[in-house]
Amino acid sequence: MMDDSQLDRCMKLVTDCRERLARFVRVLVPSHDDAEEVVQQTMVTIWEQVDRFDRDGTADQFFAWASRIAVNHARNYVRKSAPSRLLFSPEAIEALAAQWDQSEKHLDERREALRSCLSELPEQERQLIQRRYTLGESTQSMSESLGRQATSVYRSLRRIHRVLETCINNKLEEVEK
């Protein structure tokens, strides 16, 4: 039986991995509605079996454990639905899961490099990127509030993109060494 702090930690792990797990399942199960069904089944199983997860495990270890549960549910879903629908075979699901895992690791490395590179930007440039991509503000709106021409804001964003791209590539090369 879990104490309150362990339950809180498990709830945080489940909450934090849900979107990532949903993206993973959407790769395995082509229909959005079917994928959501598999995610729901997976979440139920996770809660039923959460005592089996190493309570000292990391978020990545938790996701690896949860994703295996999702693969099993996806395969079962395909077996049950296969006669009436065009879905991936269980073997294809396994291959997609393995490929996704590799891609996700690469994306995690790129995200971490991006975070690091963003932190190295001057505050004004970081704010431009945040306004455009985190807040979703249009370039036109940004130019009006900054009192600049839209083309000037576009040029600034393009230059920042190049700086970030170079920085990310350099950091990824360091990781590979």
Taking the C-alpha atoms of residue 76 and residue 90, their distance in angstroms, rounded to an integer, is 8
pTM of the model: 0.51
Q: Are residues 47 and 131 in the same domain?
A: no
The structural domain count of the chain equals 2
Of 106, 136, 166, which residue is a domain's last?
106
Residue 153 and residue 79 share a domain:
no
Q: Which domain holds residue 175?
A: 121-177
Residue ending a domain, among 106, 129, 153, is 106
Q: What is the largest CA-CA distance in the chain?
A: 62
Average pLDDT over residues 124-147: 91
| pLDDT 10s digits, 65-118 | 898 899 899 888 877 775 555 456 677 777 777 777 677 777 788 888 999 999
Identify whether residues 140 and 60 lie together within a single domain: no
Residue 70: name the closest of 94, 104, 103 by CA: 94
Same domain, 17 and 62: yes
- Measured distance CA(176)–CA(110) in Å, rounded: 12
Q: Are residues 146 and 83 in the same domain?
A: no
